[in-house]
Structure 1
C-alpha cells in the first residue's frame, strides 16, 4: 500500500506548532489500480483524487480539523486483490472505495456486516440507488442506468429512434453488462433494434472481429460501454473502418482524453456522456497547483491535469469530502465513524452555491441525496472530441429516473431476496 498524502499532512502539522491540538485523522483508503490493463485510466483518476485530498490537508488542515489519511491499496483492477485490500483496510476505515463493479459486487454483502459505506461514484451496481435496501452503498452522483438513459435521450434528440439500429459495444464484464436491462427496455419503448456486441478482456486491444460484425450490421449508432484498453482499441478500429465518429457515443468511462489523442483529428465528433468536466479556471485548480503541485507532492502533470479523468478524480474526492463535512457538522465531531459518514453521504446537498464555495465551478452538476436516494441522479453533459480536447455540446441532460424506478426497486428486491437474510433500513422514509 502507498501513502500519497502523509508528507503533506506532516508538513501541515509541523506548521501548526507543538501547542495546537490535532484530531487523529480520517482513514479513507482508496482501492486504486495504477497497474494492470486499466492503468491508463486509473492513474489520472487516482492522481486527481489524491491531489484534492492532499490540497485539503495542506490548505485547511484536513476536513473539520481532522487530517485525511488517503492511503492507496493497489488492486490492478483484480477482484481478488480488491477483496484482499478491503479486508486489509476495513478495520479502521470510515469508507471503502472499490473502483470496480466486480469488486463492488463482492464487498457489497460484507459491508452490511462490517457497517462501512461503499463509495462508488458513477459505477458499481445500479440498484444501489435504492438506499433503503442498499443502506451502506452509494454510487453518487449518477449511475449506469442514468448514463444509458441520457445517451439514448441525446440520440433521440437527433431524430426518431423508431426503426433505427444501435450496436451496444460493451466489455464482457459486470461493468459492461450493467446497462443491458435498461437498454433492452428503452429499445422496446422507442422502437429501435439493440445489437449487443461483447468484447472479452483478452480482446480489448484487438477488436477486429467485433468491428467486422459492426460493419455487417451497418448500425445507425454505436454506444460504447468501454473501459481501459478497450476504449483505445474501439476508437482506433472505428477510425480504421471509417465508421462516422459523430454516431459513436460512450459512457463516462469511455471519454478519456488520452484514448482520443491516439487518433487526434480522426476522432473528431466522438461523444461521451459525463457528470464531470475539466475547468482550468476553477478556483480548486489554482489551490491544487499552489498547495500540492508547486510543493512537489503531485504525481500528475500539466497535460493530465487538463483532462476529463483527472478532474473527475477531484470531483470524486470532493463528494467524499462533502459527505465527511456534512457528518461532522451534524454529529458535532471531527473524527466521525463509518455510520456517521453514511448519514453524511445520505444528506449531501450539492447546490450551485455549494459547488462554487468548494471552488468547483462548472465541474459537476448539482445533486442531492437522501436515505432512499443513494445515487443523486445528477444528470450530465454530452462531451464531444473536437480533435484536441473534449468540449460540451449539450445543456445539462437529466435522466428520466421515473421511467426505470420500478426496475431499480425490483432489481434491489431480487438482490435482497437472493442474499437473504438481507437487512434494510426500515427507518428510511425519504
Structure 2
C-alpha cells in the first residue's frame, strides 16, 4: 500500500510539473489520485488527461492552440481543493473542482474571478439556472436529473406506482450525498412513497454493518445509493452479505465503477447504475486515443481500464470542455481565448448527433445543447446493469422530468442568490 501511495503521489507530481511548463490554453483539473476516493478518481482523471493529450498530438491542440492540462491534487479535501483553486486560477480559462464540497466553496469566488466552473454531472443542481449562476456549468446532467431518471426507471415512468412503497436513500454524509435530497423529498411527498435517508459517514465507508442492519430491518422496496470511492465497494459487499436483491439496488453515475463490480463478479449481477455516458470500445475516438497516446506510452491508464465506464466518461468530460473552447474560438475568431470567452462557449454548445459523429463519439453521450438560461443541457442517459462480468446498457435513452425539476431549480437558485446578496443576475431574454 505504501508503494502504491508513493507511486500515485509521484505520478501526480509528474503530471503537474510536466504540464506547468506547457503553454497554451490553461485548463487545470483539481484531481484526486490519492485518498479514499482515489480508486474512482484515477480512471476519470486518466480519461480526461488522455483526451487532451490526444488533441495535442493529433490536432496540435484545439484550434491549433495546445492545451495545458495540469492537475492539482486535492485528495477530495474541500480545504485542499480551495487551495488548488487559488493556486491555479491565475491564467486559467476554467476550473474543474471535482467535488460538490469544493464546488460550493468556489462558486461565489467565480463571480469575482470571472472563471467558469465545469462540474460535469456533479455540484449544485440549481447551477442549471444560468441566469443566476453565470459562471457555473454542470452539463450534461445534474444530480436532480439522475434522481429523476432513477425514479422513472423503477416506476415504469409512472411515479404514482411508487405510492406506499419504501425507498432507502443510502448516501455519503457529505454535500455530494445530500445534494439530491430536496428533489427526492419533494417527489416522496407528491407521489406518496416513503423516503428513508441512511447516511454513511466518511469513517464508515468500509464498514456499513449498521446501515445494512437498518436496511434489513426496514426491508425497503428499493435501495438507491449516492456513493463514491470506498463507500461503493463497502455497500455492494454488504448488499451481497445481507442477500439484498441486486435488481432492487440502484446507484447514481458515480456508483457504477468497473473495479468495484469486477471484485464482486457474479454476486453483483443485476445491480444498476444510471449513467450520462455509455462505454463504446469501438468508437473512433478510442482508436485515436490508442494511436496518439496509449500506444506511445503517454497514458497513465492500463489496458483493461480503457474499456471502463469511468475512463471513457473522462474522455466525454474533456470532450465537452474542448467543444466549449472550440465554440468560443469560432465565435470570437481567436485561438487564445479568455475565461470570459469560454463562458460564452460553454453556454452555446450544440452537441448534435452529427457533431458527435465528427468527434468519433457516437453513443458515448446523448446529444444536448446549452444556453444562457440552461447551463446543464439535461441530456438524459442510460441505465447500465452489471451482468456478472461487465456493464450492459439495460434501457432505452432516459430523460429526467424537467417539469418537476425546473421549478425547484429556479426556486433554489433564487434562494441562493438572496442568501448571498448582492448576487449578479443575467438577463437571458
CA–CA distance in 1 between the matches of 2:111 and 2:35?
Answer: 29
CA offset at residue 189 of structure 1? 2.1
CA offset at residue 64 of structure 1? 0.2
Give the 5 Å matches for 1:102-113: 102-113=101-112
CA–CA distance in 2 between the matches of 1:416 and 1:209?
Answer: 39
Q: Is the 8 A contact 1:8 1:297 kept in 2?
A: no
Whether 2:399 is the aligned partner of 1:398: answer yes
Give the corresponding residue for 2:66.
Answer: 67
Deviations, residues 349-407 of structure 1 (Å, cap 9, x unaligned): 01111111100111111110001000000001000000111111100000111212111
Structure 2: unaligned runs, 5 residues or longer: 1-11
Whether 2:41 is the aligned partner of 1:42: answer yes
Q: Is the 8 A contact 2:169 2:195 kept in 1?
A: yes
CA–CA distance in 1 between the matches of 2:19 and 2:53?
Answer: 6
Q: Is the 8 A contact 2:325 2:342 kept in 1?
A: yes
Give the corresponding residue for 1:324.
Answer: 325
Whether 2:196 is the aligned partner of 1:189: answer no
CA offset at residue 3 of structure 1? 5.8
Deviations, residues 39-82 of structure 1 (Å, cap 9, x unaligned): 00000000000000000000000000100000000000000100
Structure 1: unaligned runs, 5 residues or longer: 14-23
Q: Is the 8 A contact 1:248 1:271 kept in 2?
A: yes
Q: Secondary structure at the match of 1:384?
A: strand
CA–CA distance in 2 between the matches of 1:240 and 1:101?
Answer: 31
Give the corresponding residue for 1:76.
Answer: 75
Give the corresponding residue for 1:370.
Answer: 371
CA offset at residue 302 of structure 1? 1.4
Give the corresponding residue for 2:84.
Answer: 85
Give the corresponding residue for 1:17.
Answer: none
CA–CA distance in 2 between the matches of 1:31 and 1:158?
Answer: 37
Aligned residues: CA RMSD: 1.6
CA–CA distance in 1 between the matches of 2:201 and 2:374?
Answer: 33
Q: Secondary structure at the match of 1:66?
A: coil
Give the corresponding residue for 2:316.
Answer: 315
CA offset at residue 211 of structure 1? 0.1
CA–CA distance in 1 between the matches of 2:395 and 2:16?
Answer: 37
Q: Report the TM-score, using the length of structure 2 for normalisation.
A: 0.95
CA–CA distance in 2 between the matches of 1:5 and 1:365?
Answer: 32
Q: Report the TM-score, using the length of structure 1 for normalisation.
A: 0.95
**Change beyond 3 A, Cα 1:5–1:50:** farther
Q: Is the 8 A contact 2:20 2:70 kept in 1?
A: no
Q: Secondary structure at the match of 1:330?
A: helix
CA–CA distance in 1 between the matches of 2:373 and 2:332?
Answer: 20
Q: Secondary structure at the match of 2:66?
A: strand
Give the corresponding residue for 1:19.
Answer: none
CA offset at residue 187 of structure 1? 1.1
Give the corresponding residue for 2:9.
Answer: none
Give the corresponding residue for 2:4.
Answer: none
Deviations, residues 304-332 of structure 1 (Å, cap 9, x unaligned): 11110000000000000000000000000
CA offset at residue 8 of structure 1? 9.9
Give the corresponding residue for 2:5.
Answer: none
Whether 2:349 is the aligned partner of 1:353: answer no
Give the corresponding residue for 1:211.
Answer: 212
Give the 5 Å matches for 1:1-400: 2=13, 4=15, 24-157=23-156, 160-400=161-401
CA–CA distance in 1 between the matches of 2:396 and 2:286?
Answer: 23
CA offset at residue 190 of structure 1? 2.0
Q: Is the 8 A contact 2:16 2:71 kept in 1?
A: no
CA offset at residue 9 of structure 1? 12
Deviations, residues 115-154 of structure 1 (Å, cap 9, x unaligned): 0000000000000000000000000100000000000000
CA–CA distance in 1 between the matches of 2:122 and 2:157?
Answer: 27
CA–CA distance in 1 between the matches of 2:128 and 2:14?
Answer: 31
Q: Is the 8 A contact 1:3 1:70 kept in 2?
A: no
Give the corresponding residue for 2:425.
Answer: 424
Q: Secondary structure at the match of 1:140?
A: coil
Q: Secondary structure at the match of 1:169?
A: strand
CA offset at residue 158 of structure 1? 8.3
